[in-house]
Amino acid sequence: MSVEIAGVPVGGEAEAVPGRHRGRVALVTGAARGIGRAYARRLARDGADVVLVDVLDTAEAAAEVRATGREAFEIGCDIGSPEEVEALAASVGAAAGRCDILVNNAALFTRSGILDTSLEEWRRLLAVNLDGLFLVTRALVPGMRERGWGRVVNVASTTLGLVMGGSLAYITSKGAVVGFTRALASEVGPWGITVNAVMPGLTRTEITEEEEAAGRLDFEAMVEQQPIRRGVVPADLADVVSFLASEEARLVTAQTLVVDGGIVRL
């Protein structure tokens, strides 16, 4: 399947593994567009029904899931709100019955540094990127424990391993995602649940298109720094997430997999 961003072909998707997630229900936060939408589409292509969670309209992403023949359930939720996440858990149960695979993708991004980050901005970003991660996971892990099987895949960022000024709150939050992944994996492993993270490099999405148009980013110049000189596209990340969510990765836990063409080495 060809992938386009802003109408420009940027790569293809790997062949589906249709039975990989047969009988599973996956939930993806931040599923309306970009990388989250690719996660939802790939999990559906590999056999999962998908719950799409976002504050934005998920209709187009849901249509892509249904085009694979799988069920799509759309739920609006601000994951930074404890009250909305509490309602989310009930909605998932009513709509899909359960959640076997959780992909914690939703996040906010800012460019502010130490001197121009307000306390309000700091708290709002951490409320979504870190509190939201905790709240959604805490709400859905009990069901996985009860069934003795579950997959949690968190989304970190290679900004943690780069020399990069600004974006203080964002980079801090993504560093915490790695710590959360390792700590949670130790806790829930005995319950049959694995917890891993994927660490995307600079990825061709609607946001990077907007950044390039505004003159704040030279995508191709950054690609030239990679040993593998091809820009990362959402499908590259979705392939890895689908693997981590599968039975094939049954003994992979507490790991962070970098998908960036080879720049960051953990």
| Side-chain half-sphere CA neighbours of 206 within 13 A | 7
CB 101 within 8 A of CB 92: no
Neighbours of 93 (CB within 10 A): 13
Among residues 67, 3, 50, which one has the least CA distance to residue 236?
3
Could you give the CA distance from residue 195 to residue 3 in angstroms, rounded to a whole number? 28
Residue holding tokens 């999962």? Answer: 48
Among residues 12, 71, 64, which one has the least CA distance to residue 47?
71
CA angle 188–190–196, rounded 5-degree value: 45
Neighbours of 226 (CB within 10 A): 16
Distances (CA, A) of 94 to 53, 75, 88: 14, 11, 10
Paired residues of 102 in beta bridges: 27, 152
Residue among 170, 178, 198, 237 flagged as catalytic: 170
Catalytic residue check, 39: no
Among residues 53, 1, 43, which one has the least CA distance to residue 23?
43
Distances (CA, A) of 95 to 58, 98, 243: 16, 8, 25
Looking at the annotation, which residues are catalytic? 170
